[in-house]
Amino acid sequence: MDREALAVAVSEIVLRHLPREAPRGALEGVVADLVRLLESQPLQEREGPGTRHVVFTALGRNRTGIVHAFSEVLAELSVDIVDINQTLVHGNFAMMMILDPSGASVSFEELRASLKRRGEEVGVLVFVQYEDMMRAVNRV
């Protein structure tokens, strides 16, 4: 189910439960139905079919401003950050982002080149790849 269909389904539920003279407790009903609907959706479909996410990883010495350096580039290119996570491995900094490039103003190649360029400027290693390999290797 894509986002639009999901929105329609949500509206239908709300209309069904909340007529003009909505009784008390109707909100709980709406929530319960919504939870049931969302739980029945497989993870990938919940995020929309067609969305081919990009996994972006930056590795290097920890220093201030790294996240900002990259989120600035992503904002300029209209790339949506779906998820972000970071960790320290033996004193080194590892930042991972899941990106949705579907609304981006540039192609995948240009996005990768921009992030690599910024990586060189701030002195960290940058890997940009479609999520396909992560999915193939880690999901059955």
Q: Which of 63, 67, 62, 59 is nearest to 124 (CA)?
A: 59
Query: Taking phi first (over 0 means left), then psi (-120 to 50 degrees means alpha), and beta for anything else, what does residue 131 get?
Result: alpha
CB closer to another protein, 15 vs 88: 88
CB of 68 to another protein, least distance (A): 20
Residues that bind another protein (CB under 8 A): 43, 47, 53, 55, 57, 59, 82-83, 85, 87, 89, 94, 96, 98, 108-109, 112, 127-138
Q: Which is nearer to another protein, 14 or 57 (CB)?
A: 57
- In angstroms, what is the minimal distance from the CB of 34 to another protein? 21
Residues 6+ apart with CB under 8 A from 13: 30, 33, 34, 37
- Side-chain half-sphere of 102: how many Cα atoms within 13 Å? 9
Q: Which is nearer to another protein, 64 or 87 (CB)?
A: 87
